[in-house]
Structure 1
Amino acid sequence: MIHVVGHTAVDHISRVHHLPQKNHSTHITDRQVFFGGGAANIAAGIAALGETVTLHSCVGDDFAGSDYECWMDKLGIRRQFFVVPGTHTPTAFMFTEDAGDQMTFFEWGASKAFATAEAPALPLVHMATADPDFNCRVAEKSEFVSFDPGQDVFWYTKEQLESIISHTDILFANQHEVQQMCTTLGVTREALTKEVTMAIFTMSGDGSTLYMNGNEHFIPAVPVTLCDPTGAGDAYRAGFLSAYVRGYAPLACCRIGTVTASFVVEHAGCQTHLPGWAQMLERYRANFGTLEPLPSRG
């Protein structure tokens, strides 16, 4: 069982010819609504790959009976939700202009409840974007911790990062988040990798690197036709964790994460093109060869 802690959100993604100036307006040329939230994206990816997952999140009283709830039921995602009456499920409003610049407004809504919620003690947990203090409390009480600060890295104080990393077994981050963590902590990238059992740093289309036992292992990205990079990191984590609980070696887990992410970026939306294990395995073999057999359990 993999437990995932963090945001469940609804993403409203719009395109405009140009972002307006203050006190001006512009025309929306396209608008789509997707299921999102970093933790929910990861849980959906894990469920699609056939692993058992429980999502710990906050939702408003608008979630019950929604299309999103039906989608989670279809995937088989188990849920431990804090339902906050009188609030909205967290919602992101993203506006992208033709030149590529983007503006985002994020309504935390029900996720404000993380600040005062009782943290669960979990055997294996991945902590995605959520309230920093809540994540620290989850890490302190749990047995095996995977941590991904995501875009919330800027909200963590030095003391919070020191606390959570001291309990972290696997650290995930992209290059921007790594830089911010090093700045906040006042440490080098090398020193940061030595604080955890293993660290996986992703670099968008330039692949990823696994740091473990003082060694570095580079994993190239899988070449595909890119539609939308949003959600690639969440899919990578879903693939890695699904393989990890099955007993695969960390390097193979990284490759499986890479392959899982390659499906998601081919379509718009973080949960619209999630592969099953058989689909993932076919593409893995085409790019990395035979998947290493699981180690013998004696």
Structure 2
Amino acid sequence: MTDAPPPKLDLLGIGNAIVDVLARAEDGFLAGQGMAKGGMALIDTAAAERIYAAMGPGVEGSGGSAANTCAVAAALGARVGFLGKVAADELGKVFGHDIQAAGVHFPTAPLSGGAPTARCLILVTPDGQRTMNTFLGACVAFGPDDVSEAEVVSAAVTYLEGYLFDPPEAKAAFFKASRAAHAAGRQVALTLSDPFCVGRHRAAFQDFVKNETDILFANEAEILSLYETDDLAAAIAKVRTEVSLAAITLSEKGSLVVAGDQEWRVAAVPTQVVDTTGAGDAYAAGFLAALAQGKPMAECGRWGSVAAAEVISHFGARPQADLKALVAA
């Protein structure tokens, strides 16, 4: 371990830089398009154009799982940076403007002459469930060269998004980031992102969780997929032995925070569910922002629940209310 200076950032997110297009849709529309409700599918240019043309009126905004976490953490007062690849195009400018306007340091150079900026076509059914169709575009170009070791070392926690396991170069970037962080005595957090994503890369995820991850975020479906079990208690017993700290979100049942043989059950914050997009991202943001302030584990979980409840109470994955006021209430 090196004697690194005190961190300048509380959190550095690394993930897919995506512009979200959200629209309401009925269950029949999803079935007609062959979509698995509640999941995330990777799509090509042709599918992106076909679905976009068939969707109802959409709301555009910057998204991406880790980027959402960064924006919410910044809203809670954390010092935050983000690394992710956009193209030098209009949507790339939208993304860069939005994340910097949210108070997030965004130093990654845009891709010129390659694929366009990524977009995620999100269909929200009347029950608030979101079904995502992601065209990765310029994200696929993100690789080890985009991971600035100086940026990683400047952050107390480097937060990695599981979706970034889909592009192969990005996996190498993950390992570069985690090794730089650990060499400087910093922590590495991982969010599993999506049970289908875990299924696509299970062996790689299992290796990364066991050998590189200090703090793990997952929902019930993701942790069960990771350990190939349908027994939540068995999955939690396993994760205790592999990471220092894990926060498992359980929808309306709140969340469970575990560290070694200790655990904290955290209640969900009641809210009217409008759109579940970004719920897990916001939970991780609240948790990590509280952790950066040295709050107790139960309070970290409460901040996560408050942030998640705010984000699912409206359309879109970025906060609209004053989160500092909400966690202080």
Q: 2-side partners of 1:134 and 1:254: how far apart?
A: 29
Distance of 2:130 and 2:276 partners within structure 1 = 14
Deviations 1:181-200 (A, max 9, x none): 1029xx84311222111111
CA 1:154–1:63 in structure 2 vs 1: closer, same or farther (change >3 Å)? farther
Residue correspondences, number: 279
| Unmatched runs of 5 consecutive residues or more in structure 1 | 283-298
**Superposed CA offset, 1:103-150 (max 9, x none):** 542111111122453544324211123133432332222121111121
Q: Which shows bigger deviation, 140-149 or 79-88?
A: 79-88
Counterpart selection for 2:314 from 258, 267, 272: 267
Q: Partner amino acid for 1:146?
A: A
| Deviation of 1:237 (Å) | 0.8
Q: Secondary structure at the match of 2:176?
A: helix
Give the structure-1-normalised TM-score: 0.83
**Residue 263 of structure 2 corresponds to residue 220 of structure 1:** no
Amino acid at match of 1:222: V
**Corresponding position of 1:246:** 293
Residue of 95, 98, 109 corresponding to 2:137: 109
Once residues 138 and 235 of structure 1 are traced to their aligned partners in structure 2, the CA distance between those partners, rounded to angstroms, is: 22
Q: Does structure 1 residue 181 correspond to structure 2 residue 226?
A: yes
Q: Deviation per CA, 1:188-244: give whole Å up to 9, x if none.
A: 431122211111100112210011121221111011111111111111111111111
Is the contact between residue 91 and residue 109 of structure 1 (CA under 8 Å) also seen in structure 2?
A: yes
Using a 3 Å threshold, how does the CA distance of structure 1 residues 101 and 5 change in structure 2: closer, same or farther?
closer
Residue of structure 2 aligned with 1:34, choices 61, 65, 74: 61
Please give the alpha-carbon distance, in whole angstroms, between the structure 1 residues aligned to 2:54 and 2:179. 48
253-262 vs 88-97, greater mean Cα deviation: 88-97
Contact 1:16–1:30 (8 Å) recurs in 2: no
- Distance in 2 (alpha carbons) for counterparts of 1:53 and 1:109: 25
Change over 3 Å in CA distance of 1:118–1:76 after alignment to 2: closer
Is the CA contact (8 Å cut-off) linking 2:124 and 2:275 kept in structure 1? no
Q: RMSD of aligned C-alpha atoms?
A: 2.7
**Structure 2-normalised TM-score?**
0.76
SS of 2:106's equivalent in the other structure is strand
Q: 1:31 deviation in Å? A: 2.4
Structure having greater relative contact order (Cα 8 Å, sep ≥ 6): 2
Partner of 2:191: 148
Trace 1:79-228 onto structure 2 (pairs within 5 A).
79-85=106-112, 86-96=114-124, 104-115=132-143, 117-121=145-149, 122-123=152-153, 124-128=157-161, 129-131=163-165, 132-142=171-181, 143-151=186-194, 152-183=197-228, 188-228=235-275
SS of the equivalent of 2:269 reads coil
SS in 1 for 2:164: coil
Task: Using the TM superposition, give the Cα deviation of residue 14 of structure 1 relative to its aligned residue in structure 2, in angstroms.
Answer: 2.6
CA distance in 2, matches of 1:180, 1:126: 21
Unaligned runs of 5+ in 2: 1-8, 35-49, 166-170
* Amino acid of the structure 1 residue aligned with 2:87: G
